Amino acid sequence: NSLSSLFQVVHAHKPHFMALHCQEFGGKNYEASMSHVDKFVKELLSSDAMKDYNRARVYLDENYKSQEHFTALGSFYFLHESLKNIYQFDFKAKKYKKVTGKEIYSDTLESTPMLEKEKFPQDYFPECKWSRKGFIRTRWCITDCAFDLVNIHLFHDASNLIAWETSPSVYSGIRHKALGYVLDRIIDQRFEKVSYFVFGDFNFRLDAKAVVETLCAKATMQTIRAADTNEVVKLIFRESDNDRKVMLQLEKKLFDYFNQDVFRDNNGTALLEFDRELSVFKDRLYELDISFPPSYPYSEDSSQGRQYMNTRCPAWCDRILMSHSAKELILKSENDEKIVIYDHIGPNVCMGDHKPVFLSFRIAAGAGKPIANVHKCCVVQ
């Protein structure tokens, strides 16, 4: 059960402030699965594992009938009873308000001033008319340290064949544009600048052309075209000798490589050099070293927790990124014990097609002081 894997992580790290960001909440066929969403939320809020979290804020975009606003994002925030004085920012009133009790907002997030939500403009990804990609942002203040938490979902690769054509791919360009839009939005002039963490499904993919050239360096390629339209529908890469064994088959939604171990051995580290989409943002975003295998696309067969599906090239889609000022907030450990942990959840358990990732760290008391001394959160309301 994916919740019990989550609770194990909560139990191991005992966070005082816990943020959980979900994308595609309710799955692809939204109307049919909405009841499961409510059950999941109830279970999360009432479970024994979460009993010491006496305050919560849950923001669920469930308004699936609104094509122009619906993002299917879900953001959950839990506050441990030992944590005193937490404030959340009201974007309309432009002031911090003390967080008390448990509150769930769903259906129309547009009307709550405690967050900003935006769906990307339709023309960003014209081939996908029902795209739900967008972001939700909330702002918090703990011990005089203010920061934004942004739940993000960027555009996917619609076709493996198109992704393979150019390096970087056309899809990579679309994600680049959308992420730039979000970063510009959260540091614009409307509100004071604070540190930020952006986490969710970035859909970052490996550079398909470079990966295929490396994995199939000694292979010959056969191109199969549709009889009627002459468009390429399949590429088959075979070993030149060895009985012309098939190494890789590539179709719009097929990435069938003969040896999945390459994605799992040593956490797939050999492929990290092809994970290039973040490099464009290195001046704006920081990420800890990745030491977990590609987070997507896992088999949804509950007995195959470690198996990838042969639909896409495995990639690190799910990430936790931060501003350079946020990096400074993360407590530097005094005696080199590992206090900052960036890892995935449920390595051997079926968690759906994406394995969730988590970041656990401590904020040093007063860490935000140099950038946040103007907040004086505690005098507000």
CATH number, residue 49: 3.60.10.10
Q: Is residue 215 part of a domain?
A: no
Q: Is residue 98 part of a domain?
A: yes
Q: Is residue 365 part of a domain?
A: no
Summarize pLDDT for 88-134 with one digit per residue, the tens: 999 999 999 999 999 999 877 888 999 999 999 888 877 776 778 99
What value does the CA radius of gyration of the chain take, rounded to a whole number of Å? 22
Q: Is the pTM of this model over 0.95?
A: no
Q: How many domains does the chain have?
A: 1
Q: Is residue 308 part of a domain?
A: yes
Q: Is residue 224 part of a domain?
A: no
| pLDDT of the residue at 337 | 60
Q: Is residue 239 part of a domain?
A: no
Q: Is residue 344 part of a domain?
A: yes
Beta strand ranges found along the chain (DSSP E): 17-22, 53-60, 74-80, 86-90, 95-98, 102-105, 116-119, 134-142, 145-153, 195-201, 219-225, 232-239, 246-251, 254-257, 318-322, 341-344, 357-360
Nearest CA to 380 out of 196, 193, 141, 192 is that of: 141
Q: Is residue 377 part of a domain?
A: no
Q: What is the mean pLDDT of the chain?
A: 91
pLDDT greater than 60 at residue 333: no
- Sign of torsion over alpha carbons 323, 324, 328, 331: positive
Q: What is the domain range of residue 329?
A: 1-205+267-360
pLDDT greater than 80 at residue 381: no
